Chain A
Amino acid sequence: MVTLTLDGLSARYGRRSILSEITTPPLEGGQVVAVLGPNAAGKSTLFRRIFGLLAGGGIVRITGAISERPVAYMPQETGVNAVLTVYESVLLARMQGRRLNVKPEDLAEVDRALDELGIVALGERDIGDLSGGQRQMVGAAQALVQNPEVLLLDEPTSALDLHRQIQLLSILRRLAKERGMLVIAALHDLGHALRFTDQALVLQGGTLVDCGPTEEVVTPELLYRVYHVTARIERCSKGRPQLIVEEAV
């Protein structure tokens, strides 16, 4: 099974240090890992650094991967005005680095990715006509169609309605378990992090301030220290932890 370890990872934009000395224990496939932290904590930079889009110090160590390109990365959603259907835009994500001719198995993979995310009906739509939330689901399909072993998702639920947020995170959790995939997602909703993720990395000012099982990491003390809010965590009737935020300080 795939394992990803960050060892002393750092990144800079010009002279400005954005990330410094990010070191994690081995993060194993089959898990969903939340990357948490306030705005400008360095979450997007961490994804870009792991994916190799930014140079910097330290090592990203991936062991146990089977494929040549084990990592897929979904950046934060931006508007597009390309004249492409959703189906084409997902196929395009699969075909990068491949020959121009499309094989039946490529189309089957596109169908599978759209089906996994429940967006088969969007296939014929132009991507320019989609809402922000629909584009975000298509972005997830573009990442999934690559059959990654490590899936990096930068705020994958930011434009989704509540139903779609729960749906996407449930699917990701299931796929992680079924495929032995390591899913790492930046999330702003700590309630979702508590419910759907196994581990959490907390960034603040470009440094890793905490790392471990989500329920142990997301505590009222951390929320006060990192997010500057007072909060408490209670358990619902099903035993799930529920985050109740009281006020900003």
Chain B
Amino acid sequence: MHTGADALPSEQPAPEEGRTFYRALVLRRQLILAALALALFLSLCVDLALGPARFSLGEVLAALFSPDDVSLQARVILWEIRMPVALMALVVGASLSVAGAQMQTILSNPLASPFTLGISAGASFGAALALAFGVVIVPAAVDYVIPINAFVMAMLTAFAIHALSMRRGVTIETIVLLGIAMVFIFNSLMALIQFFASQQAVSAVVFWTMGSLTKATWPKLWISLGVLATVMPLLARHGWALTAMRLGDAKAESLGVKPRALRLEVLVLVSLLAAIAVAFVGTIGFIGLVGPHIARLLLGEDQRFFLPGSALCGALILSIGSVLSKVLIPGTVIPIGIITSLVGIPFFLFLVLSNKKASW
């Protein structure tokens, strides 16, 4: 290493300790990702095994890898009934966590997530319009009216935030405040709907807003998975640029990144992810907050690890949440949104109150 000023050697080969350190860092992260993937698979198996009819892990594995060797009943229950729900937990968890991770990245705010930016609240409002008053924004098959309403309102919310954020003088801090304003607006509108709606409709709205994976079906799963599988490579393509965004706009610009254009593109992509996820399963809060923070602690913020890590963490949390929703009160499936909120709110408070750099 150089120590002096003018009398510095110029043509010595660079030391290799940096390379060695970096390769070890990369290997550690690859192992953490592999461990997360393994934990996710185990959680999926446990989730599949639990329910009114219980199966052993051996039976679940047999049903997964050689379905012909298990009974027809087990095959139907595991593949037709539980699999879409269990996989939906993975896809929705991954979608919300990735959405939260990228919102935090581009807005430089640890509290940004689909939930805190009002996208979930917009979706709830869209669903409530259909449930309480039969308002159909886009005519569709009965099974899809509520998700489409929720999706359209979630996207409108996202676009409203985008449009307002493009105004001159609007900073990234303002965007987060705009999101919070959106949450308040939709909460007020929801209260108004509940005031005028029938008792039955109010129950339906409340149940929807709790968020439940039991609404999952194979077609809905394929749509959600399709969006996730489309958006992930588009985000990964910007991996280096998104990592640079964490150094601040001025530094990112100096490295050739166009922060405003990237922010807009990523906001559109992650709004789509979040809107689809929330539209199909209702409001599931805090995954978009907790998932990315755990990924950040484990893997740092190099997007090549942070992006898949956020997806795996979100999927794992929601999958574990799905297991807990079945076992906490035997015989009852608690809506998953309640579980994630119960876990998420203390974590949220911890983030707000602690000033730990390690978590941000």
Query: Considering only CB atoms, which chain A residue lies closest to B297 in the complex?
Result: A83
Q: Given A167-B5, A170-B5, check contact A107 B246 (CB 8 Å).
A: no
C-alpha gap A167/B10 in the complex (Å): 14
Q: Is A41 an interface residue (CB 8 A)?
A: no
What are the residues of chain A within 8 A of B257 when measuring CB–CB?
96
Within 8 A of B (CB), among A28-76: 51, 53, 69, 72-76
Query: Which of B10, B14, B302 is close to A84, meaning CB atoms less than 8 Å apart?
Result: B302
Query: Which of A73, A75, A92 is close to B243, meaning CB atoms less than 8 Å apart?
Result: A92
Instruction: Bin chain B's interface residue count.
Output: 35 or more
Q: Is B248 an interface residue (CB 8 A)?
A: yes
Within 8 A of A (CB), among B1-53: 1-6, 8, 10, 12, 14-19, 21-23, 25
Contact present for A87 and B247 (CB under 8 Å): no
Contact pattern, A 108-135, Cβ under 8 Å of B = 1, otherwise 0? 1011101111101101101111000000
A82 to chain B, nearest CB (A): 4
B104 to chain A, nearest CB (A): 11
Contact present for A123 and B248 (CB under 8 Å): no
Q: Is A100 an interface residue (CB 8 A)?
A: yes
Binds A, one of B158-166, B172-180, B234-242: B234-242
B292 to chain A, nearest CB (A): 11
Contact present for A80 and B251 (CB under 8 Å): yes
What are the residues of chain B within 8 A of A209 when measuring CB–CB?
none
What are the residues of chain B within 8 A of A75 when measuring CB–CB?
250-251, 253-254
Within 8 A of A (CB), among B217-261: 236, 239-241, 243-244, 246-248, 250-251, 253-257
Query: Considering only CB atoms, which chain B residue lies closest to A115 in the complex?
Result: B14
Query: Considering only CB atoms, which chain A residue lies closest to B236 in the complex?
Result: A100
Q: Is B326 an interface residue (CB 8 A)?
A: no
Query: Which of B2, B19, B251, B300 is close to A88, meaning CB atoms less than 8 Å apart?
Result: B300
Contact present for B296 and A83 (CB under 8 Å): yes
What are the residues of chain B within 8 A of A108 when measuring CB–CB?
14, 19
C-alpha gap A184/B130 in the complex (Å): 63
Query: Considering only CB atoms, which chain A residue lies closest to B16 in the complex?
Result: A111
What are the residues of chain B within 8 A of A107 when measuring CB–CB?
18-19, 22-23
What are the residues of chain A within 8 A of B14 when measuring CB–CB?
108, 111-112, 114-115
B310 to chain A, nearest CB (A): 13
User: Which of A96, A128, A163 neighbours the largest number of chain B CB atoms within 10 Å of its CB?
Assistant: A96
Contact present for A96 and B244 (CB under 8 Å): yes
Contact present for A120 and B18 (CB under 8 Å): yes
Contact present for A87 and B251 (CB under 8 Å): no
Contact present for B300 and A124 (CB under 8 Å): no
B24 to chain A, nearest CB (A): 10
What are the residues of chain B within 8 A of A91 when measuring CB–CB?
22
What are the residues of chain B within 8 A of A97 when measuring CB–CB?
240, 256
Contact present for A85 and B300 (CB under 8 Å): yes
Query: Which of B17, B236, B239 is close to A120, meaning CB atoms less than 8 Å apart?
Result: B17
Q: How many residues of A contact B (CB 8 A)?
A: 55
C-alpha gap A243/B15 in the complex (Å): 39
Contact present for A51 and B18 (CB under 8 Å): no
Contact present for A69 and B256 (CB under 8 Å): yes
Contact present for A115 and B15 (CB under 8 Å): yes
User: Which of B5, B18, B304 neighbours the largest number of chain A CB atoms within 10 Å of its CB?
Assistant: B18
User: Which of A51, A69, A120, A139 neighbours the largest number of chain B CB atoms within 10 Å of its CB?
Assistant: A120
User: Which of A112, A115, A142 neighbours the largest number of chain B CB atoms within 10 Å of its CB?
Assistant: A115
Q: Is B167 an interface residue (CB 8 A)?
A: no
Within 8 A of A (CB), among B293-309: 296-297, 300-302, 304
C-alpha gap A126/B360 in the complex (Å): 12
Q: Is B349 an interface residue (CB 8 A)?
A: no
A65 to chain B, nearest CB (A): 16
Contact present for B1 and A115 (CB under 8 Å): yes
What are the residues of chain B within 8 A of A126 when measuring CB–CB?
357
A sample of 30 cross-chain residue pairs with beta-carbon separation below 8 angstroms, ordered by A number, consists of A78-B248, A78-B250, A82-B243, A83-B246, A83-B297, A84-B246, A92-B240, A92-B302, A93-B244, A95-B240, A96-B240, A96-B241, A97-B240, A107-B22, A107-B23, A110-B22, A111-B14, A112-B14, A116-B2, A118-B2, A123-B17, A123-B21, A123-B22, A127-B247, A128-B357, A129-B357, A139-B251, A143-B254, A170-B5, A171-B2
A81-B357, A83-B297, A167-B5 are known contacts; what are 13 more A-B pairs with Cβ within 8 Å?
A53-B253, A78-B248, A82-B243, A83-B300, A83-B360, A87-B18, A87-B21, A88-B302, A100-B236, A108-B19, A111-B18, A171-B2, A174-B10
User: Which A positions have Cβ atoms within 8 angstroms of B?
Assistant: 51, 53, 69, 72-76, 78, 80-85, 87-89, 91-93, 95-98, 100, 104, 107-108, 110-112, 114-118, 120-121, 123-124, 126-129, 139, 142-143, 163, 166-167, 170-171, 174, 178
User: Which B positions have Cβ atoms within 8 angstroms of A?
Assistant: 1-6, 8, 10, 12, 14-19, 21-23, 25, 236, 239-241, 243-244, 246-248, 250-251, 253-257, 296-297, 300-302, 304, 357-358, 360
